[in-house]
Chain A
Amino acid sequence: MRHTWTLTKTRMRLALRNRAFIFFSLVMPLAFLFLYLGIISKAFPFGGGASVGPYLLAPVIALTVMGSFWGLSIQLVTFREKGILRRFRVAPVGPGAMLASSLISNYFLTLPTVVLEFLLARWIFHLDRWGNLWSVWALVTFGTVAFASFGLIVASVTNTMQETQVINNVLWTVFLFLSGATIPLPVLPRVIQFLALFLPATYLVTGLQKAVVRGTEVWHLGAELLALGAGALFAFFVSKQLFRWEPEQKVTRRAKAWAAATILPFLLLGIWESNRGALRSDAKATFDTMDERAHPPRPNR
């Protein structure tokens, strides 16, 4: 535990000295914030009701959280390719401490960006509500660990930076366009809405929209928190199984099977959601709150 904490502090220090980290973890999320709340919100249907801002803030936070898998996968592959990991390997440090320190440092570095997004949304874009901050915190926490662990898995099954970038791009595109993070879920074709039920990103986006727009309490976010929590635990366990110190250590078939098994919780949850769940109807209900005809804007106090 002591090693994990020492490594966490070092990783945070290194991240803050890294320009790429600052760009991807601060500049880019804030650019998304200005794009969504400053530009897209103006072009939104229904005359831009009071819920449009909170509705669009949710995917901005989701993108910030989802970005964790980019940073961590690239960092781990770089460390392995440069032989940095093998230096730690001859010291009494295990894979658990190495991976846990990545996740914890990433979490502590993501939180301030999320807080800043909330504050800027309030001050610059005059967001009229905070939503349920406990629910947001729970979703951000589970989401950050889950997506960061996915990144660690990607890093463990790829051999080079190029391979990592290709897989990251594919995953990012899927998460971005099929989860409701760019185009709202209720607007997407039915078949995509069905596919979205199997994506971790969908649970994060819809959960955050419910928490920010409708102020949904933590205990009413069962499916979302279960998906992200189970995903986080399972993905961390799998990433520990797959961890490789050396570039020349081959990815075994067993490792590939473990990596493929990461989709299992989302497969099961997707099947349950498609039959009995209320995720799609919840997403629709949140989306409809933006219709000024049904929900007139609150008078200014």
Chain B
Amino acid sequence: MSSCVVEVENLVKRYDKVEALRGVSFDVREGEVFGLLGPNGAGKTSTVEILEGLRTPDGGRVAVCGLDPERSGPRFKQEIGAVLQSTALPEKLRVIEALRLFASFYTRRRDPNELLKRFGLEEKRTAFYMHLSGGQKQRLALALALVNEPRVLFLDEPTAGLDPQVRREMYDIIEELKREGKTILLTTHYIEEAERLCDRVAVIDQGKLIALGTPRELKQRSAGTTRIEVRLVKPESDGALQNLDGVADCRESEGTYLLHSTSVPQTIVALVKHLEARGNELASLEIATPSLEDVFIELTGKRLRD
């Protein structure tokens, strides 16, 4: 059993009267990629920023590499690497200067030239930060996070706002880090990201951890059911569709009915008959295999992007 690099116990964080975290607990084992998955405002960034020592918790206990992020000061910062969600560098700082500057802060450091090469930034070596594209800025952020050979890497929404092509490039980089055995805690609201990159995922919503496990374990929660997404010409009440043959669960989200069915043919036949009887029609119908999105919908009744 590998040891825990990050320990979070009953974490509580309040902003004025809003409770952003309500007793969150989990741990991250050495060498694993751990994902915090949830919609915007779920409490992911608050959690990771407490772990980075940027915010003070109002309750609970956290430890990173056995250290208290708030009280261990520079010793703690030597051990972590971080890609923050909202950050920047001075506009007229050159890429190589940024790497050299940050490398100079650490006792254990990697060669900036090697990092440039690894993250495909050699051509941008002397470019100002302001002249980098979104993807290049994010690659530089990752290179800076690795400049001290950190024991644990925090990636807060590392692909947010990037176009799909650049996002896939980032996935490749993170997968490479995963192969090297880096311990990574990443937050995301992209299902694809969590499924592809994470060894274990904690689903978080409204400040509470609502599920924790490997993507496979979580998807097994929806085992035996298939998601049927239906759009109708005229709206129906949820209750009517819930009673159709084979339907285990039915929810409505943005005009789409999400039916979780244990028997797809039976449900579709029942649905068509039901609509005929009501004088209603199908606008669209889609059948999807279970995903983490289904788990999230099942647990919270809403989609991740809601």
Residues of A participating in the B interface, judged by any CB pair closer than 8 Å: 2-3, 6-7, 10, 13-14, 17-18, 79, 82-84, 86-87, 89-94, 245-246
Once the chains bind, are A10 and B93 in contact (CB under 8 Å)? Answer: yes
Chain B interface extent, by class: 20 to 34
Closest chain B residue, CB of each to CB of A75: B90
B89 at the interface (CB under 8 A from A): yes
One of A79, A83, A91, A92 near B86 (C-beta < 8 A):
A83
CB proximity of A275 to chain B, nearest CB, Å: 47
Once the chains bind, are B90 and A90 in contact (CB under 8 Å)? Answer: no
CB proximity of A248 to chain B, nearest CB, Å: 9
Contact with A along B90-102 (1 / 0, CB 8 A): 1011000100011
Once the chains bind, are B104 and A3 in contact (CB under 8 Å)? Answer: yes
One of A10, A92, A246 near B77 (C-beta < 8 A):
A92
Q: Which residues of B contact A79 (CB under 8 A)?
A: 90
Q: In the docked arrangement, what's the CA distance between A79 and B78, Å?
A: 23
Q: In the docked arrangement, what's the CA distance between A90 and B73, Å?
A: 10
Once the chains bind, are B80 and A6 in contact (CB under 8 Å)? Answer: no
Once the chains bind, are B84 and A87 in contact (CB under 8 Å)? Answer: yes
Q: In the docked arrangement, what's the CA distance between A14 and B91, Å?
A: 9
27 chain-A/chain-B pairs, Cβ below 8 angstroms: A6-B104, A7-B101, A10-B97, A13-B97, A14-B92, A17-B92, A79-B90, A83-B86, A83-B88, A84-B87, A84-B88, A86-B54, A86-B84, A86-B86, A87-B87, A87-B144, A89-B54, A90-B52, A90-B54, A90-B84, A91-B77, A91-B102, A92-B74, A92-B77, A92-B78, A92-B105, A92-B106
Q: Which residues of A contact B106 (CB under 8 A)?
A: 91-92
Once the chains bind, are B89 and A84 in contact (CB under 8 Å)? Answer: yes
| Nearest 4 A/B pairs, CB to CB | A92-B74, A92-B77, A83-B87, A17-B92
Q: In the docked arrangement, what's the CA distance between A92 and B74, Å?
A: 5
One of B78, B87, B90 near A14 (C-beta < 8 A):
B90
Closest chain A residue, CB of each to CB of B88: A82
Q: In the docked arrangement, what's the CA distance between A94 and B76, Å?
A: 13
Q: Which residues of A contact B89 (CB under 8 A)?
A: 84, 87
Q: In the docked arrangement, what's the CA distance between A17 and B126, Å?
A: 14
Q: Which residues of A contact B78 (CB under 8 A)?
A: 92
CB proximity of A173 to chain B, nearest CB, Å: 30
B152 at the interface (CB under 8 A from A): no
Q: In the docked arrangement, what's the CA distance between A122 and B42, Å?
A: 66
Q: Which of A91, A92, A94 has the most CB of B within 10 A?
A: A91
If A90-B82, A92-B74 touch, does A84 touch B90 (CB 8 Å cutoff)? yes
Q: Which residues of A contact B23 (CB under 8 A)?
A: none
Q: Which residues of B contact A82 (CB under 8 A)?
A: 88
B53 at the interface (CB under 8 A from A): yes
Q: Which residues of B contact A94 (CB under 8 A)?
A: 74
Contact with A along B194-206 (1 / 0, CB 8 A): 0000000000000
Q: In the docked arrangement, what's the CA distance between A91 and B73, Å?
A: 10
CB proximity of A104 to chain B, nearest CB, Å: 16
Q: In the docked arrangement, what's the CA distance between A18 and B106, Å?
A: 28
CB proximity of B195 to chain A, nearest CB, Å: 28
Q: In the docked arrangement, what's the CA distance between A82 and B93, Å?
A: 14
CB proximity of B45 to chain A, nearest CB, Å: 12
B:79-128 near A, CB below 8 Å: 80, 82, 84, 86-90, 92-93, 97, 101-102, 104-106
Closest chain B residue, CB of each to CB of A79: B90
Q: Which residues of A contact B90 (CB under 8 A)?
A: 14, 79, 84
